[in-house]
Chain A
Amino acid sequence: MADKLNKTQTEENVSSAERQPLMRLENINMVFKKSNGLLTDKHIHVLKNISLDIEQSEIIALVGESGCGKTTLGRIITGLLTPTSGDIYLEGQKVTGTFKKKIASYNQVQFIQQDSYAALNPVRTIYDSLYAPIKTHNKKWTRAQIDERIEELMTLIGLQPSSQFLTKYPHQLSGGQRQRILMARAISLDPKLIVADEPVSMIDVSLRLSLLNLMKKLNEQLGMSFVYISHDLSTTRYIARNGRVAVMYLGEIAELGNIGDVVRCPRHPYTRALIQAVPIPDPDFASYDELPLKSMNLGSLENRSDGCSFYDRCLYSTEHCLEGVDYADTPTSKVLCNNIDCVPSQPIYKEK
């Protein structure tokens, strides 16, 4: 795992012929213009130089606070947004710039939304909602073929007997069932990559785990890659298991590594604070009161400098950090930090 993260540019060129990532993001920048009525527009730099490879059939998690750009990145991966600059390659094919021509290839990337109620058309039955995408992309299929496909999907997501659900409208289903329907719709076109944006945050605790298990099953059985976007590190650790996590801070990937390693022993000063803030369902562990942070306030996304975005809140920052910041490789992860040697390297919690 560590090797995969640490590979250098030259190695990448050599290995790319044999093993191509499913999707490659190169230096993605996203700038939103905010007009304030005067001549001077504000530029809001939501994503800054994001480079990331998404491998075949892996689960990669994007975590971070609200406003860190994780959803924007998810929308760029799905093709719903076009980045201001940077390139996206899907199986080696460049898809940015020529977006309209390549839109067909975006069958292969699907999206699962957070709010299952808003994502389904309220005046269409579940059957209609599942039928439409299949028909649109397989124009020659007969109704019987599509029905068969829908039946297959309903078995896969565990809503049986399907006749009980297909004739219903979204409001007649529970949140967990609706979320399953969204998953069925997402996999109905056999995509290679599914972006799931906070898929369980609106679901009751006792049902969350079964939905996460379903996603894991789809990943293992069908070999689909998942990009799991969440602010909740606990569920992320559950779904991504041995996968990777990208911890985002103000539009940058602050730390990238195996989720087990990053959660146990984070190396970026921000990740260390983040992990200590996560509540643990065990009164014996509920101990961190002071977080290793200088300030509570999230920095601004406007008029950003080249320096480290975490500078103001970091306990280990030096003046050098204002000029620029580079990724450093540690044995477990890739960390966007200049002073990695000053950051503590012991695990956050001792093993019980």
Chain B
Amino acid sequence: MNENIIEFRNVSIDYPLKKYTIRAVTDVSLGIKRGKITALVGESGSGKTTLSSSIIKCISEPGKIAAGEIVFFDNADGEEKETVVSGLKEKQLKEFRWKRVSMVFQAAQSALNPVMTVEEQFVETLLAHGEVRDKQKQRERCKDLLSYVKLDADRVLSSYPHELSGGMKQRVMIAFSLLLNPDLIILDEPTTALDVITQNYIFNLLKQINRETDISMILMTHDISVVAKFADYVGVMYGGRLVEYGTVNDIFRKHRHPYTEGLIKATPSIIGDIDKLSPIEGAPPDLMNLPKGCIFSPRCPYAQDICRGDEPPTVYSDDGSKGRCYFYEERKNGR
């Protein structure tokens, strides 16, 4: 069995505009491990949301996949099946979305329909996918899921979204994403706008779901602290490129890309020495006007002439980690 559930193969995604084309994702190759939690970290404009929405062919207009392919490995019926997502027809997509891959959106507030009760929305989805026609069974399934995310099922089912708090709505969305037993859940900043106590609770819940059900998860976030707590594997994105990938320990203990290093150094924490923190100088790249060579080179404290020439290739390390830096191999044994 393939250990990956999704593979990005040299994926590039373009947004053609009137006068020019913006490449939001450039040549990303990445395998998402089955049953694990993979986090994609990056600042705004780094391409993480574009990349993950390409999995369900939901890139916002006018974006399109310009090169490469996204392959989904399905072993639902015991035998392995490869699905190229970009090749799916509208009808197949309806099967694929939510049943294979579901998503927890950033603002639960706007992801739920304000004029339908939670139960109506759950049932609508079950019916649309031709699942569980029996009313009694539908209700039971909804109740089970809501109690699984530790909500008072009877109360929540008959509620409209505005009657629930932010944390409750996000838990409803998580229950919603589990409704059709997907293989993969995409979590797009699931806790923005929630306070830390609720955030902690939501991530513990998601981690528990991951461990108990073996559902694979992709977490998109800008907050590297959350990643340390939650993820098994981490991909760091910068200017549409995957600049470093490795296990959570690789990224925090043995990171080799200068951007990862800068990001970790720039993140304040409630423990440790404040004086060791330092910001990354400069500003994130302008996708319409990218610097020559390595796109991080204008901000990189280690940049040399070679970095300003051609863009560095992705360097694969034998331990499974990889990075886009000329000195990736060199920096293996400390800096």
Interface residues of A (CB under 8 A from B): 65-66, 174, 176, 204-210, 212-213, 231, 233-235, 237-238, 241, 263, 273-283, 285-286, 288-289, 291, 293, 296-298, 349, 352
In the complex the two chains form, what is the Cα distance from A213 to B165 in whole Å?
35
The residue that A278 contacts in the complex, of B196, B230, B262, B263, with Cβ under 8 A, is: B196
Q: Do residues B228 and A286 form an inter-chain contact, with CB atoms below 8 A?
A: yes
Proximity bits, B75-117, A CB within 8 Å = 1, else 0: 0000000000000000000000000000000000000000000
| B-side contacts of A278, CB under 8 Å | 196, 225, 270
- In-complex Cβ contact of B270 among A233, A241, A286 (8 A): A233
Q: How far is the CB of A210 from chain B (nearest CB, A)?
A: 4
Pairs A–B under 8 Å by Cβ, sample size 11: A204-B222, A205-B222, A206-B263, A207-B279, A207-B280, A208-B279, A276-B200, A280-B225, A280-B271, A289-B204, A291-B197
Separation in Å of the A169 CB from the closest CB of chain B? 17
**B255-270 residues at the A interface, CB under 8 angstroms:** 262-264, 266-270
* Known interface pairs A66-B193, A279-B228, A296-B197; 14 further A-B residue pairs with C-beta atoms within 8 A, sorted by A's residue number: A65-B197, A174-B283, A204-B43, A208-B266, A209-B277, A209-B278, A209-B279, A210-B279, A275-B270, A281-B227, A283-B229, A283-B249, A296-B167, A349-B271
Question: If the complex has contacts A209-B279, A213-B279, A282-B228, are A235 and B268 also in contact, measured as CB distance less than 8 A?
Answer: yes
Number of A-B contacts (CB under 8 A): 129
Report A-chain residues with C-beta under 8 Å of the C-beta of B283. Answer: 174, 176, 207
Which residues of chain A have C-beta atoms less than 8 A from B195's C-beta?
A: 65-66, 231
Asked if B4 is at the interface of the complex by the 8 Å CB criterion, the answer is no
**Does the CB pair B270–A206 fall under 8 Å?**
no
The residues of A that contact B43 with a CB separation of less than 8 Å are: 204-206
Inter-chain CA distance A275–B200, complex, in Å, is 11
A234 B272 Cβ-Cβ under 8 A: no
* A283 engages B197 (CB within 8 Å): no
**CB atoms of B198 and A296 under 8 A apart:** yes
The 3 closest A-B pairs by CB, nearest first: A209-B279, A286-B229, A65-B195
Closest A residue, CB atoms, query B267 = A281
CB distance from B108 to the nearest CB of A (A): 14
Which of A204, A208, A263, A280 is within 8 Å of B228, CB to CB? Answer: A280
Within 8 A of A (CB), among B200-243: 200-201, 203-204, 222-230
**B31 in the interface (beta carbon within 8 A):** no
Q: Report the Cα distance A185→B274, complex, angstroms.
A: 28
Which of B198, B263, B269 lies in contact with A205, CB distance below 8 A?
B263
> A65: which B residues are within 8 A, CB to CB?
195-198
Bound-state CA distance A276–B204 (Å) is 13
- B199 cross-chain contacts in A, Cβ below 8 A: 277, 279
Query: In the assembled complex, which residues on chain A have CB atoms less than 8 Å from the CB atom of B11?
Result: none
Is B53 located at the chain interface by the 8 A CB criterion? no
Assess whether B228 is in contact with A206, with CB atoms less than 8 Å apart: no
CA distance A195 to B10 in the complex (A): 48
Whether A238 pairs with B274 at a CB distance below 8 angstroms is yes
Q: Which residues of B contact A207 (CB under 8 A)?
A: 279-280, 283-284
Q: Which of A174, A176, A208, A286 counts the most B-chain CB atoms under 10 A from its CB?
A: A286
**A206 in contact with B280 given A65-B195, A231-B196, A291-B197 (CB within 8 Å):** yes
Determine how close the nearest CB of chain A comes to the CB of B149; give it in whole angstroms.
12
Given A206-B43, A283-B228, check contact A352 B200 (CB 8 Å): no
Residues of A close to B279: CB separation below 8 A: 206-210, 213
Q: Looking at the complex, which one of A209, A234, A273 makes contact with B225 (CB distance below 8 Å)?
A: A234
Say yes or no: A281-B252 contact (C-beta < 8 A), given A205-B266, A209-B268: yes
Whole-angstrom distance from the CB of A302 to the nearest CB of chain B?
Answer: 15
For A238, list chain B residues within 8 Å (CB).
268, 274, 277
- Hey, which chain B residues are within 8 Å of A293, CB to CB? 197
B-chain residues with CB within 8 Å of residue A285 when the two chains form the complex:
228, 271
- Nearest CB on B from A332, distance (A): 15
Nearest A residue to B45, CB-CB: A204
User: With A206-B284, A207-B279 known to touch, is A279 a contact of B226 (CB < 8 Å)?
Assistant: yes
Most buried by A among B263, B271, B277, B280: B271
B325 is an interface residue with CB less than 8 A from chain A: no
Cβ A234 vs Cβ B269 within 8 A: yes
- The residue that B272 contacts in the complex, of A277, A283, A288, A352, with Cβ under 8 A, is A352
Determine how close the nearest CB of chain A comes to the CB of B30; give it in whole angstroms.
20
How far in angstroms is the closest Cβ of chain B from A196?
Answer: 16
Residues from chain B with a CB closer than 8 A to the CB of A296 are 167, 197-198, 201
Which residues from B are CB-within-8-Å of A297? 165
The A-contacting residues of B in range 148-198, CB under 8 angstroms, are 165-167, 193, 195-198
A234 touches B197 (CB 8 A): no
The answer to the question of B32 belonging to the interface, with a C-beta cut-off of 8 Å to chain A, is no
For the complex formed, measure the closest distance between the CB of A211 and the CB atoms of chain B, giving whole angstroms.
9
Chain B residues within 8 Å of A352, by CB: 271-272
Docked complex Cα distance between A209 and B249 (Å):
24
Q: Tell whether, in the assembled complex, residue A273 and residue B270 are in contact, meaning their CB atoms are under 8 Å apart.
A: no
Most A CB contacts (10 A, CB to CB) among B166, B198, B200, B270 go to: B270
Q: Once bound together, how far apart are the Cα atoms of A231 and B195, in whole Å?
A: 7
Residue of A213, A263, A279, A291 most packed against chain B (CB within 10 A) = A279
Give the shortest distance, in Å, between B217 (CB) and chain A (any CB).
16
Residues of B within 8 A of A213 (CB): 279
Which residues 282-300 in B have Cβ within 8 Å of A in the complex? 283-284
Tell me whether B56 is interfacial, beta carbon within 8 Å: no
* Chain A residues whose C-beta falls within 8 Å of the C-beta of B147 in the assembled complex: none
- Is B270 in contact with A237, judged by CB distance below 8 angstroms? yes
A198 smallest CB distance to B (angstroms): 12
By the criterion CB–CB under 8 Å, are A281 and B274 in contact?
no
| Chain B neighbourhood of A235, CB < 8 A | 268
Q: Which listed residue (A234, A283, A286) contacts B267, Cβ 8 A? A: A234
Check: B142 CB closer than 8 A to any chain A CB.
Answer: no
Q: B20-61 interface mask toward A, CB cutoff 8 Å, 1 = contact, 0 = none?
A: 000000000000000000000001100000000000000000
* Chain A hits for B268, CB < 8 A: 208-209, 212, 234-235, 237-238
Q: Is the CB of B266 within 8 A of A282?
A: no
